[in-house]
Amino acid sequence: MNYVTSLKSASEVKTDCLIIGVFNKNNLGIAAKNINDVSENIITKLYKSGDINTAIGSTKIIHSAKNIKADRLLIVGLGDKDSFGRDEFRRVNQAAMNAIKNIKLSNFANYLFLDEAPNTKDYYKGRHFIESYFSSIYQFDQLKTGIKKINPIIKKIIIGISSKNNSEKVKLGCTHGQAISLGSKIAKDLGNLPANVCTPSYLAKESKKFAKIYKKLSVKILNESMLKKLKMNSFLSVTAGSKEPAKLIEMHYKGAKNQKSHVLVGKGITFDTGGISIKPSAAMDEMKYDMCGAATVIGTIIAIAEMNLPVNLSVIVPACENRPSSTATLPGDIVKSMSGQTIEILNTDAEGRLVLCDALTYARRFKPKYIVDVATLTGACVIALGHHRTAIMSNSDELSDELMNAGDKSNDLCWKMPMGREYEMQLNSNFADMANIGGRYGGSITAACFLGKFTRNMKWAHLDIAGTAWTSGAKKGSTGRPVPLLSQFILNQSSIDI
């Protein structure tokens, strides 16, 4: 994509579609005022006749404005001028992109950048805008036959800036926005693919493909016999009932010398039936999304590689199915994890922690600066935080603060939940070092405490994305979250000035 900034006034810009904004009470944004002045008060007339609405996010396209060089105008409601900030800027851009996504345009000009949005740096304006552009055109139709909707082929995006704006920062924001959008798209596609396509082997194969595209990226796949040698019996206990071979996927991005690596670990259960502790049938199809932790850490490393950041990042994905069969793990079975600690598997549906604990132990060999695992781990998390925020649980306030901050900056929100000895005690077992479940109450926290037993002496955080990784209902689909949060987190760890 070609991003160009323009110092031309709105009426002078030649484009297929010019985007301008109007605040409540017909308070015209800078570009709208310019158009209104040259075009016989067209905006004021439309406002008075009720043809345009200024409520935040309303949109109207018109084709006939005099004395302007654009073929059409997209007029966007900006809401109250006094409360127009970062969030509002993002919302109006999203609305604008949704309004033009089905029109055949070869370029458009966004002149919403001229209006001030307090507390929003030029870089973030560029980023949020481009992320909303790519999210508006996302579609998943690779498994549909028949005529497919073709995306408009936008070749150029023009961004109207005033001399006060920093053109370089706007463009860097756009480029990073495009990289993060690519990471999100990869995560969404992997998430949306059904379990009969997106198997552990498929995830491994796709990861290998990425290593061919980015030269700073290398990929290694461990098969079941290697996992056995590493004594990953906890991970292997989950795949015991499935014919699909389990894989441990390792991806390493080397963008810096002599720097500690960051490590991301993603839960890659390509389908979670619950195993012998089988789940009820209602909405069980959604358990194809149980590999969204994996999808998002893979998406993130691609976003980082695409941005070519001067950091080192590794991604570890334990991938397998959780299914019942005559070889499946039984409730009450006890396994010895790679760490040497033994686990009584009281519920085979609490499998995420069983694959993650061995992956976290394995990750120690990379001596990470920070280690973050990402998992659709508990239904309890959805009860606690709903679908809006990802839960963070951590043994390091420094790390959880960094993640909270990254969530804020990237508008991919999260919230910190507690951990502690009281919760950890719920995992006590009569027969092994720990049980894999801690009872009904505080289910997300006891799951995190379980993982905490495998991350001692590392700065670790756990992100439970059970509520945020996908949407149910008519708009069922993967969200790609938390690729923006994780990308921002790594970006903040780099020396890049944004």
What is the set of active-site residues? 279, 353
- Closest separation in Å from C-beta 274 to Mn ion: 5
Residues 459 to 488 in contact with ligand BES, rule: CB under 6 A:
466
- Beta strands 156-160 and 107-110: pairing type? parallel
Which part of the chain contacts ligand BES (CB under 6 A), choosing from 41-49, 82-90, 343-351, 406-414? 343-351
Residues 331 to 360 in contact with Zn ion, rule: CB under 5 A:
352
Residue nearest to ligand BES (CB): 379
Number of residues that bind ligand BES (CB under 6 A): 16
Q: Which residues of 93-114 are buried (b: 16+ CB within 10 A; e: fewer)?
A: bbbbbbbbbeeebebbbbbbbb
Q: Which residues of 192-204 are buried (b: 16+ CB within 10 A; e: fewer)?
A: bbebeebbbbbbb
SS (H, E, C) 131-185: HHHHHHHCCCCCCCCCCCCCCCCCCEEEEECCCCCCHHHHHHHHHHHHHHHHHHH
Q: 437, 445, 449, 485: which one contacts ligand BES (CB under 6 A)?
A: 437
Judge contact between 303 and 296, C-beta under 8 A: no
Q: Is 321 a binder of Mn ion (CB under 5 A)?
A: no
Nearer to ligand BES, 251 or 377 (CB): 377
Nearer to Mn ion, 377 or 491 (CB): 377
Question: Out of Zn ion, Mn ion, ligand BES, none, which partner does residue 248 contact, by CB within 5 to 8 A per kind?
Answer: none
Which part of the chain contacts ligand BES (CB under 6 A), choosing from 38-46, 75-83, 164-172, 373-381? 373-381
Cβ neighbours around 471 below 10 Å, total:
13
Q: Is 173 a binder of Zn ion (CB under 5 A)?
A: no
Read off the amino acid at residue 215: K
Nearer to ligand BES, 245 or 379 (CB): 379
Q: 189, 290, 373, 464: which one contacts Zn ion (CB under 5 A)?
A: 290
Q: 11, 314, 378, 468: which one contacts ligand BES (CB under 6 A)?
A: 378
With a CB cutoff of 8 Å and minimum separation 6, the contacts of 461 are 370, 371, 372, 373, 392, 393, 394, 395, 396, 399, 400, 403
Judge contact between 303 and 295, C-beta under 8 A: no
- Closest separation in Å from C-beta 460 to Zn ion: 20
x-marked contacts with Zn ion along 213-252 as a string, rule CB under 5 A = ----------------------------------------
Number of residues that bind Zn ion (CB under 5 A): 4
DSSP letter for each residue of 25-48: GGEE-HHHHHHHHHTTTHHHHHHH
x-marked contacts with Mn ion along 258-277 as a string, rule CB under 5 A = --------------x-----
Q: 376, 394, 455, 488: which one contacts ligand BES (CB under 6 A)?
A: 376
Q: Is 27 helix (H, G, I), strand (E, B) or coil?
A: strand
Alpha-carbon distance values, 202 to 121, 140, 196, 244, 408 (Å)? 40, 18, 10, 11, 33
- Closest separation in Å from C-beta 320 to ligand BES: 12
E strand or H helix at 384, and its extent? helix 379-385
DSSP letter for each residue of 268-294: EEEEE--TTSPPPSTTGGGGGGGGHHH
Radius of gyration of the chain from its Cα atoms, rounded to whole angstroms = 25
d(C-alpha 64, C-alpha 39), whole Å: 10
Nearer to Zn ion, 77 or 352 (CB): 352
x-marked contacts with Mn ion along 156-195 as a string, rule CB under 5 A = ----------------------------------------
Nearer to Mn ion, 270 or 410 (CB): 270
d(C-alpha 133, C-alpha 123), whole Å: 16
Judge contact between 127 and 179, C-beta under 8 A: no
x-marked contacts with Zn ion along 262-281 as a string, rule CB under 5 A = -------x--x---------
Phi, psi of 76 (to 5 degrees): -115, 135
**Helices H / strands E in the chain, number of each:** 15, 21
Q: Is 424 a binder of ligand BES (CB under 6 A)?
A: no
Question: Out of Mn ion, Zn ion, ligand BES, none, which partner does residue 437 contact, by CB within 5 to 8 A per kind?
Answer: ligand BES
Q: Is 290 a binder of ligand BES (CB under 6 A)?
A: yes
With a CB cutoff of 8 Å and minimum separation 6, the contacts of 473 are none
Q: Is 130 helix (H, G, I), strand (E, B) or coil?
A: helix
Nearer to Zn ion, 3 or 454 (CB): 454
Q: Is 352 a binder of ligand BES (CB under 6 A)?
A: yes
Q: Is 350 a binder of ligand BES (CB under 6 A)?
A: yes
Nearer to Mn ion, 344 or 351 (CB): 351
Nearer to ligand BES, 118 or 386 (CB): 386
- Closest separation in Å from C-beta 205 to ligand BES: 23
What is the token pair recorded at 487? 């990308």
Judge contact between 84 and 29, C-beta under 8 A: no
Which residue ranges make up the site for Mn ion (CB under 5 A)?
272, 349, 351
Which residue ranges make up the site for ligand BES (CB under 6 A)?
272, 290, 347, 349-352, 376-380, 382, 437, 443, 466
